[in-house]
Amino acid sequence: MSETQEILPGARVLLTGASGLLGRSVAKGLVELGYRVTTLQRSASEVDGATDVRGSLNDPDAVAAAVNGQDAVIHMAAKVSVSGRREDFERVNVEGTRAIFDAAEAAGVRRVLHVSSPSTAHAGSSLVGEGAGPADPERAEGHYAQTKAAAELLAEDRARTAFDGAGMDVLIIRPHLVWGPGDTQLTTRIVDRARSGRMPILGSGAALVDTLYIDNAVDAFVAGLRRLPLIAGQRLVLTNGEPRPIGELIMGIAAAGGAPRPRLRIPPGVAKVLGLAVEKIWALGEHEDEPPMTKFLAEQLSTAHWFDQRETRTALDWEPAVSIDEGLERLAAHVRTTGSV
């Protein structure tokens, strides 16, 4: 295939989920490069130069309006949490994905970058140098991972069957543990819990885990969009490619955020039992905050999960520009300058 098949600046791109750090950062990066970006989410994207469509993935009119006239779609919106009602995850992660693909087919949009998660293929055991295995809703842990796995299978099915069997160009990217300034999913939680003495290190903290610094994530997603027609049909796990002991990572992020290094240590088996108990308590009522521990979280904090990045880097023609150490320095500088994570 020739390079003219790449999706180049000037193309019209819809991005769902631009109210979160990753989506907003990718949208900004695309605008800066000259892509014509539309965003779809409930709140304002705050991305200068992008056209916002305000609405839900479960609002057919809003989805149709956002998708119409686009050259490609980056579907990033999702319900991300370690707790909550199953039906809420189903509505956003599965039915929302179905709505995007239905609208894309109706509008004649044949190129979709579907954002998934490595947890779709993680059954709780260690992942050591793995590739992007098939999504498995039956074995995935928790409502989030299970529904994201189902959504990924839906995306792969549409890649084969859309447009009366002609199919779509669909690329699946699974970013792993994105962090950096402004991140409320991982970075802020580690720093806040470390400040209050509630951020545990499970066991020795030696399990190797890879993460993804936000600036690298943006560059990789831009590369994925650009090369989508050339590499469609692939599943790619996306990380910095620098596995570190989980305890070292947690302490590094806490310190960069101005918090004391965590000293609380809990045996992994005890954490899993506590996590199951907390899940049952949380299920009894409505909670605005995340539970302090769940079985899934205990597994994530005590098992290795890092991935072979050779296929990803070759497919995207990309390498991370910011190391973990430099990312920690940037986070610390941001906190010193702004006073917040």
CATH number, residue 156: 3.40.50.720
Q: Tell me the pLDDT band of 243, cut-offs 50, 70 and 90.
A: very high
Residue 198 domain-assigned (yes or no): no
Higher-scoring residue by pLDDT: 221, 289: 221
- Nearest Cα to Cα of residue 305 among 124, 77, 47: 124
Report pLDDT for 86. 92
Answer yes or no: is 277 within a domain: no
pLDDT at 106 > cutoff 90: yes
Average pLDDT over all residues of the chain: 93
Q: Please report whether residue 36 resides in a domain.
A: yes
The top-scoring range by mean pLDDT among 26-30, 117-121, 186-190 is: 26-30
CB burial of residue 60 (10 Å; 0-12, 13-18, 19+): middle
Number of domains in the chain: 1
Is 72 within the bounds of a domain?
A: yes
Using only C-alpha atoms, what is the Rg of the chain? 20
Greater confidence (299 vs 262) lies with 262
Q: How far apart are the first and last CA of the chain?
A: 44
Tell me the whole-structure pTM to 2 decimals: 0.94
- State the pLDDT at residue 162: 97
Q: Does residue 2 have a pLDDT over 90?
A: no
In a domain, 125, yes or no: yes
By three-state DSSP, how is residue 220 classified? helix
| Structural domain containing residue 61 | 8-176+213-240+309-321
Lay out the sheet containing 235-238: strands in order across: 51-54, 36-41, 12-16, 72-75, 111-115, 169-175, 235-238
**Among 4-13, 23-32, 91-100, 310-319, which stretch is predicted with the lowest mean pLDDT?**
4-13
Please give the share of the chain, as a percent, with pLDDT higher than 90. 80
Active site residue 213: no
Q: Is the pLDDT of residue 3 over 50?
A: no
Q: Specify if 40 maps to a domain.
A: yes
**In the structure encoding, which two tokens stand for residue 325, read together?**
């150490």
- Give mean pLDDT, residues 318-336: 98
Position 220 in a domain:
yes
Catalytic residue among 144, 221, 296, 318: 144
Per-residue pLDDT at 157: 98
Q: Give the per-residue pLDDT at 260.
A: 95
Over residues 253-279, the mean pLDDT reads 90
Q: How many helices (H) and strands (E) does the chain have?
A: 12, 15
Inform me whether the pLDDT recorded for 124 exceeds 80: no
Residue 303 maps to a domain: no
Can you tell me whether residue 73 is helix, strand or coil?
strand
Give mean pLDDT, residues 62-81. Answer: 96
